[in-house]
Amino acid sequence: MRAIVMDRIAGPLAVREVAVPAVPAGGAVINVVATGLCRSDWHAWAGHDDIVLPHVPGHEFAGVIAAVGPDVEKWAAGDRVTAPFVEGCGACEWCLGGNAQVCPQQQQPGFTHWGSFAGQVVIHAADTNLIAIPDAVGFEAAASLGCRFATAYRALTGRARLTPNEWVTIVGAGGVGLSAVMIAKALGAKVVAVDRNPAALSMAASLGADHVLTADGSDIPAQVHAITGGSHVSVDAVGSEQTCADALLSLRRHGRHVQVGLLPPVDGHPRVPMARVIAWELEVLGSHGMAAADYPGMLSLIASGALEPQKLIERIIGLDEAAELLPRMDTASVAGMTMVDPTR
């Protein structure tokens, strides 16, 4: 099969023929129809994750089951499926409690093993991790759910406990941020979206953001406080010291911050304005995807039309273009999601 192969950290990527994967016991091999190009893939390429070379990135995908391994009971070849980017083991207390996203034995396609920028991808513990795609949901929209959309959904509903009429400040209007805008508006919240890219802010406004602010070096927290009196909830959907600080400092007293964007260390651990966290008794919450067990509620909203992740897809490209674009993900000005068709 054709795949994007990474031979060294932060090096050029090549599209070449590799062996098709074997079917693991309890797992499945999926023919990839669509897979998302995500900033998390860039973190792996840049060396912020422990990966074994050579490596195939890619962790958001949707497709059709090619084969299932021994002991798989719920799935068969031909089923239309997607999966969270975290593969729970299915047997630990966290998985059995419905929290596979924090499974200590978790695996992740595109990180702990070869991912979905290829003709096929492996999923372990298929009965725990696979999710049926409703007929009304296309493969591209389903692929967006594995990381960015589902992460935003759980960040706002399961972690921040966002309620109608609350203000939420979303820093970063990429895939996660735009997903969060759409979901927050569907929940009846009021949204401030922040980004440096005018096209991304325009898309955020089209999705219902009540205010958009340009991250141009000005005092973002002061602008948010002037608009909202201090946000009830904030989300850092980028992952940098600046975006994390802007999000936290935008909160009112007793506000809730959700950190979604990965925070790579700069000169040690990332610096976070903890003095404000303590003085204003802010809640700081991590959000690491969403377990397959939590997908039905989100999928029902998508099937009903209340949520439309397909609106976030800006373009569909092939593997060769994806191999060129991935190393530039940290600087590219993209409004919306980029999906990859491995057959192109």
Mean pLDDT of 145-164: 95
pLDDT for the residue numbered 216: 95
Residue 212 has pLDDT above 80, yes or no: yes
Which pLDDT value is given to residue 262? Answer: 86
Contact between 96 and 159 (Cβ < 8 Å): no
Quick check: 65 and 30 in contact, CB under 8 A? yes
Residue 333 pLDDT class (50, 70, 90 cuts): low
Task: Identify any residues that bridge with 131 across adjacent strands, giving them in sequence order.
Answer: 82
264 pLDDT higher than 90:
no
Tokens linked to 65: 């089951």
pLDDT digits (tens, 9 = 90+) for 16-52: 999 999 999 999 999 999 999 988 899 999 998 899 9
Cα–Cα distance measured from residue 36 to residue 87, given in angstroms and rounded to the nearest whole number:
17
Distance CA 80, CA 31 (A): 10
d(CA 133, CA 22): 24
The angle subtended at Cα 200 by Cα 337 and Cα 167, nearest 5°, is 105
pTM: 0.90
* Structure confidence at residue 17 (pLDDT): 98
pLDDT for the residue numbered 318: 97
Tokens of 306: 């209340």
- pLDDT of amino acid 271: 86
